[in-house]
Structure 1
């Protein structure tokens, strides 16, 4: 089975064209090597996929015949992503919260609501 079709079948990407584009951009690797969308996948291979700034590591357990329901995905793949990758994402979220500098423009709607909630707490 092709790598782009496999990633689509196990619901890693919403459409097959998005999976193909990810392969072309070098976000998908098998055993550390960039792959083309037409690369064949076999059972037992390790796939690394960079998505949302996380390097997911997937082990292929079996090849599905078609796109699967969400409950059946774990029969065909094993997620071996180390927990440190998810911790990096959490740190990135916290760093973005404090990134906005004073005087860089108008506050967003969320910023305004946070300010209002903060001021209401001080009045009580």
Structure 2
């Protein structure tokens, strides 16, 4: 048998994804590349492989340092890989850009606007249409 670990198990153990099924879904969606190639969840990875992983937190370019099939504490998970310095800088820039970007959120949260919110939207639209 080859000495490797399934990529979905390793991504879960390295704490890139909360569940193995989320890791598999990300791999199937093309968010994970092994040595610049798309892979399937059952693909075996080895020490020294390079991964590009896109998550909600950003895109990571990492080198595999250790293999593990078991999820452990976060400090142990960080020892499984080493992130590229350029990748860290890019993620920090992207994080700052997301924080500075304007957010257009519904004040009441999810769902349909309330009657009050609809009135405010209507007044706003009328005020802006008169200026045109």
**Gap regions ≥5 residues in structure 1:** 101-105, 111-124
> Where do 4+ consecutive residues of structure 1 move more than 2 Å?
none
Cα RMSD after superposing both structures: 2.1
Query: Are 1:89 and 2:91 matched, yes or no?
Result: no
How many Å separate the matches in 1 of 2:28 and 2:10? Answer: 15
Query: What is the SS of the residue equivalent to 2:101?
Result: helix
How many Å separate the matches in 2 of 1:49 and 1:24? Answer: 12
How many Å separate the matches in 1 of 2:32 and 2:10? Answer: 12
Matches of residues 64-103 of structure 1 in structure 2 within 5 Å?
64-80=68-84, 81-97=87-103, 100=104
Q: Which has the larger radius of gyration?
A: 2
After TM superposition, the score normalised by the length of structure 1 is 0.73
- CA shift, 1:70, in A, is 1.4
Query: Are 1:108 and 2:107 matched, yes or no?
Result: yes
**Gap regions ≥5 residues in structure 2:** 110-132
After TM superposition, the score normalised by the length of structure 2 is 0.69
